Amino acid sequence: MHVSVTFRESMPLRGTNRAGDTTLFDTSPEFYGTGSAPSPIEMVLQSLAACSMMDVISILKKKRRDVVSLTAEVDADRAEEHPKVFTAIRLQYRLESPDCPLSDLQRAVSLSIEKYCSVSAMLRQSGCGIEWEAELVREARQ
C-alpha cells in the first residue's frame, strides 16, 4: 500500500492513493489552515466509522438483509496533553431496514469492532476504548 500527501503553498493538503483518488486535509486558521476540509484527526474518526460500516453492510448483505441506509455518529475524547490521542470513542449506528432484526445488526457491529475493522484494532491497541450502540429503524410503509 502506498499513498502520498502534498502541500502546495497553502492548505488544504492533498492526499493521493495509487489509483489517483484524492482526499483533502485541512486545519483551522489558527494553525495556518483554511478550515475547508476535515483535519487528519477528524479523518481518523471518519475512517473508523467507514471501515466499520463497510464490515456491517457486508455482513448484513451476506445474511440477505436489506440495508436501506446506515449511519454512524461518532463522539470521542482526547488526551489533554500532546500527543492528544483518543482515549475513548463512542459510535451510534442507525440502520434502516425492512427485514433486519436488531440481533443481526448488533452481531454485525460487534464482529466489525472486535474482529474485522483494522481501524478499530489500531485504535484499541493504542489504549483507546471503543463503545457502541445500535438502533434499528423500520422503513415507513406507504
Q: What is the pLDDT of residues 24-55, one digit of tens each?
A: 999 999 999 999 999 999 999 999 999 999 99
Asked if residue 123 and residue 68 are part of one domain, the reply reads yes
Three-state secondary structure call for residue 61: helix
Specify if 16 maps to a domain.
yes
Specify if 142 maps to a domain.
no
- Contact between 26 and 34 under an 8 Å Cβ cutoff? The reply is yes
pTM score = 0.94
Specify if 62 maps to a domain.
yes
**Counted domains in the chain:** 2
Q: What is the pLDDT of residues 84-105, one digit of tens each?
A: 999 999 999 999 999 999 999 9
- pLDDT score of 139: 60
Specify if 66 maps to a domain.
yes
